[in-house]
């Protein structure tokens, strides 16, 4: 049986558009650093081992896409530099990183467990991503979800 999805174009797919920004190998690592408070270029480079030019390119791309913004700072006796802060668009990626962390913890963690945990500031309980429909029902399995053409869907040309 032919999947109905084949009738619809993917030219304006928002998943593909998001992956144009997030899909490069180092992008989520850079975002992890900023989310955990590492905001300065040299600190990121030393901590992650990202090659200088790759980090420069990733930061420029994330600034250009409005995910990060540059904030000037100056150490005494040094030239002005910038640190990187999340914009509202960048902050909205937090659930994506928590979901990737949860998946990594489940399938890729060392025997000792995850090297990073995220907890709720108020009660110290672990934070995780959960899916819920707009009516408030928990969605626990992919088979409980249907993919349908959305309002921006376009029929595929034959």
What pLDDT score does 42 carry? 95
| CATH level 2 (architecture), domain 12-144 | Orthogonal Bundle (1.10)
**Residues written for the chain:** 158
Q: How confident is the model at residue 27 (pLDDT cuts 50, 70, 90)?
A: very high
pLDDT digits (tens, 9 = 90+) for 51-102: 999 999 999 999 999 999 999 998 899 899 999 999 999 999 999 999 999 9
Domain ranges across the chain: 12-144
- 3-state class (DSSP) for residue 149: coil
Phi-psi region of 128 (alpha: psi -120 to 50; beta: other; left: phi over 0): beta
Contact yes or no for 72/79 (Cβ under 8 A): no
Contact yes or no for 30/59 (Cβ under 8 A): yes
Count CA atoms closer than 13 A to 74's CA, side-chain side.
Answer: 5
């Amino acid at each position: 049986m032919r999947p109905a999805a084949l009738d619809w174009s993917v030219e304006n797919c928002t998943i593909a558009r998001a992956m144009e920004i997030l899909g490069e190998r180092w992008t989520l690592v850079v975002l992890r650093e900023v989310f955990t408070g590492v905001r300065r270029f040299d600190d990121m480079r030393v901590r992650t081992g990202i090659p200088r030019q790759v980090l420069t390119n990733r930061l420029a791309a994330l600034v250009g896409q409005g995910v990060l913004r540059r904030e000037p700072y100056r150490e005494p006796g040094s030239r002005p530099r910038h640190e990187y802060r999340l914009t509202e668009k960048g902050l909205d990626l937090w659930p994506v990183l928590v979901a990737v962390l949860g998946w990594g913890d489940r399938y890729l963690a060392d025997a000792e467990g995850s090297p990073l945990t995220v907890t709720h500031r108020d009660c110290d309980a672990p934070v995780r991503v959960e899916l819920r429909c707009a009516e408030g029902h928990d969605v626990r399995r992919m088979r409980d979800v249907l993919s349908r053409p959305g309002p921006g869907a376009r029929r595929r040309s034959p």
